[in-house]
Structure 1
Amino acid sequence: MQKQNEKVIPFSEDKEPLGVAPGVLAKRDIVKTSTWCPNPKPDIEFDQWCDPLNPKTITYKDVLKAAAAIKEGIPRTSLVKSRFCQRFRIDLYYKYEIFHQTGSFHERGALYSLMMLSKEQKKKGVITASLGNWAMALAYQGLILNIPVMVVLPVQTLLSTVEKCEDFGATVILNGINLAESKRHAFVLLAENGRTYINGYDHPHVIAASGTIGLEIMHQLPQAEVVLVPVGGGGLIAGVAAAIKHINPQVLIYGIEPDKCCCFFKAMENEYPYQTAIGRSVAESLGVPNAGWNAFHTARSLIDKMVLVNDDWISRAVLHLADDEKIVTEGAGASSLSALMADPDIVPEIRGKSVVCIITGGNIDSITLPRCFERAKAVEGRLVKLTVTLPADSMKEQLKVLSMVANVGCNVLQSYIEHSWLTENDFKTIYLTLIIETYSLDHACSLKRVMERLFPNICNFLEEPFSPIPTCACFPKRFL
């Protein structure tokens, strides 16, 4: 993974470099002679549809075949122009995949992969491992087609996700602390029950069906110049790139991946997929430990740039979509937009272009959503934490502090008082802590200047250390 201060030259075949950007992997760095993982060891997890020694390339014809097969079951999703194009300095469009029955684009691949099973396979049923969205999609489409579905989910999967899978008639097994362990257990069960395993991000039929999103984009917006695609295991970007690049090779395909779970970025960087460590991220459904072999083989020469984004930028994208676009999405679904929320700008070359962000899912729980909002507001300086040291018996001073916060036009969301803890000669000191909402970073800076002038040496602002908007010296940005 590229560090924040490292320079990576974006791809340009015939011209001078377009610029430098942190967290970016460009085509010049990744398109090399084919190199595959040497002698991969066969084991219980061998999948004939996802064979490292015989990867399958998904083509435009495959996508067209998938589109014809699922057109009756999957209605075309909307492509909506943002109301904030001027803010982003591009013609920004959103391809919403959040209005499917189970809230994500995975229903395309689930329906097509089930339709392509033989009669015997349909009778015995299918099994899969998933982080949630794919499991719900497969369970729902299995219910529609009357095909038995078994899903293996990590033990920490949300209860709401488990209940939805069960409501759709799936047999749910909780096993493993991550997708890799769940997948291994799924193959253990597969050997016992004779079901068919369907990989949710690398099965050829899943990739081809995902590519129908690309077909729709080019039909709805023929003048599209850049498409930003969230990346986990790579199935979505492989299918979308196969479709779009065939129709118009000049369209730029950018893969957007969280820096805490970047298996596809690593695969592109090292020329073959391999298992990578997965960190906790707000885009949890992109936490795939190993990029798909078919997805990598299909997409590696079609992707123009891979961009790593952090949780701060993803949280800001979730907030923007909810606050301004009036759309609720999960972290993974908002990842494509998060590349535009970064500072410094990591994709400056797309300014003035027609850009499509694929919003892949809206399954965010009621605990994660407010945390995203709080984190995003803190990053943007719209939510600040202030602690004021005061004498314990100074009620007037407390009222004065609150009055000044109100006079600056800020809103106190939370307030609490703490007494000193095992500190000598400090029995009469209290700490008044306030969580304050402001309109903007400039407003927060004004508050900080006023409070420090009126209450010198007793105000402590908990400054956001990684704020992506370093426009005020009061809130300095400190890079890793």
Structure 2
Amino acid sequence: MTVTLDDVRAAEKLLAGVTTRTPIESSRPLAERLGRPVLLKCENLQRAGSFKIRGAYVRIARLSAEEKARGVVAASAGNHAQGVALAASLLGTSATVFMPEGAPLPKLAATRDYGATIELAGSSVESALEAAHAFSARTGAVLIHPFDHADIVAGQGTLGLELLEQVPNASTIVIPVGGGGLVAGVALAVRALRPDIRVIGVQSERVAPYPISLEQGAPTTIEAQRTMADGIAISRPGDVPFAEISRWVDRIVTVTEESLSQALLLLLERSKLVVEPAGAAGVAAIMQHPEVFDDGSDAPVVCVLSGGNIDPLLLMNVVRHGLAAAGRFLSFRVRISDRPGSLDVLLRVLAEMAVSVLDVVHERTASTLAIDEVEVTLSVETRGPEHRFAVEQALREHGYVITYT
């Protein structure tokens, strides 16, 4: 199942009038880090909230009338689910989507709203995919794989054609990588037109099968860990995208949870863009590995924001995580004397350091406490790493023993 530039161009014609031509936005904070222009391809603003509609629509549009009559089935943590559900509704076929138990509620609700029937199966995309295969064998519904099919790769590759039209002088493209369909399609399309362009893929270090797979020369399954970037948490590369990635992608880098959360926070604060952690992986790579993008060129680096479907509760947690990683949030416990005025003294120390106190919890009944002491848990906002360090030093100088929460 090889994919060619002609396949991508054919997919582009199929998608005319269906997908949105998503905008390009500049990022001054990222440009300052790299010393060159950094542009954001805002696929988080695509229909259904991610690039997935591109491949899903192409795959379903090419089914025969008899296949469409049997319906389609898919497995996804959320974005592919919404892409398949929307594409199926536009093309007049029914869709059943298997999602992992614990999938974000907004993604479940949106998939239902697009008209799909949802089934929950297992705790991972792989287990949901097994259930989808079984459903396909039992009912005859056509499986729409999230990444391992030539039509999917060709559809995702249309983003590359669009990007080159918008930024013809791009020197490097940075793309989040899960199963590999997006980076494979974009890489083969842009490198066919611009052989000199660099394509860099990004995975969460907690679920990164591509580096070892490329090293071993074949798709390799790894043991996945939990990551906030659930949209790219795939433990085995797809065979079809792996072949294209091996040929066209220059490098795959990995990023930490801290970098992902800081990237999401930067996009919120400075670019006013809501992006899910997986969609912000490219920005995380620029922040964590700026040396990777030092190729001696002044031409733009383009970072693909692949999706914006984030659970508001997760967003709250990730923002807090990002603030902590950026040195702007501190949560800690201290023990103080159980005497009137002791809490006031502690708060005055923080006030003198110009700290904004977000939350205070006063605990005096724990069995580990002495009869004449209480424990106070505080969440405070600081101005950055240096201010946070100064606050910690001031507390210690006043005799407080800090336990971090």
Scaled to the shorter chain, the TM-score interval is over 0.9
Picking from 376, 380, 383, the partner of 1:439 is 383
**1:353 Cα deviation from its structure 2 partner:** 4.5
Give the match for residue 14 of structure 2.
69
**1:148 Cα deviation from its structure 2 partner:** 1.2
Distance 1:333 1:353 in 2: 23
Give the match for residue 236 of structure 2.
290
Picking from 345, 352, 355, the partner of 1:407 is 352
Deviation sequence 1:260-316 (CA, Å, 0-9, x none): 111223321221113222211110011112211010011112111110111110001
Provide the secondary structure at the position in 2 that maps to 1:341: helix
Give the match for residue 117 of structure 2.
171
Give the match for residue 74 of structure 2.
128
Picking from 374, 388, 394, the partner of 1:430 is 374
Provide the secondary structure at the position in 2 that maps to 1:369: helix
Question: Which one has the bigger helix percentage?
Answer: 2
Provide the secondary structure at the position in 2 that maps to 1:347: helix
Say if 1:83 and 1:325, in contact at 8 Å, map to a contact too. Answer: no
Say if 1:95 and 1:217, in contact at 8 Å, map to a contact too. Answer: yes
Picking from 431, 435, 452, the partner of 2:396 is 452
Say if 1:129 and 1:135, in contact at 8 Å, map to a contact too. Answer: yes
For 1:108, the aligned partner's letter is R
For 1:299, the aligned partner's letter is I
Distance 2:229 2:7 in 1: 29
Say if 1:218 and 1:224, in contact at 8 Å, map to a contact too. Answer: yes
Q: 1:448 to 1:159 in 2, by over 3 A?
A: closer
Q: 1:277 to 1:148 in 2, by over 3 A?
A: same
Picking from 192, 199, 205, the partner of 1:259 is 205
User: Which ranges of 4 or more aligned residues in structure 1 deviate by more than 3 Å?
Assistant: 350-353, 419-424
Listed as ranges, the gaps of 5+ residues in structure 1 are 1-55, 464-480
For 1:62-461, list aligned pairs within 5 A: 62-84=7-29, 85-342=31-288, 345=290, 347=292, 349-350=294-295, 352-393=298-339, 395-419=340-364, 421-423=366-368, 426-453=370-397, 455-456=398-399, 458-460=400-402
TM-score by length of 1: 0.80
**1:66 Cα deviation from its structure 2 partner:** 0.8
Listed as ranges, the gaps of 5+ residues in structure 2 are none
**1:448 Cα deviation from its structure 2 partner:** 2.2
Provide the secondary structure at the position in 1 that maps to 2:203: strand
For 1:262, the aligned partner's letter is A
Provide the secondary structure at the position in 2 that maps to 1:356: strand
Distance 1:218 1:331 in 2: 25
Distance 1:386 1:179 in 2: 36
Tell me the matched-pair count: 403
Distance 2:46 2:89 in 1: 15
For 1:417, the aligned partner's letter is H
Provide the secondary structure at the position in 2 that maps to 1:190: helix
Provide the secondary structure at the position in 2 that maps to 1:141: helix
Provide the secondary structure at the position in 1 that maps to 2:402: strand
Say if 1:384 and 1:461, in contact at 8 Å, map to a contact too. Answer: no
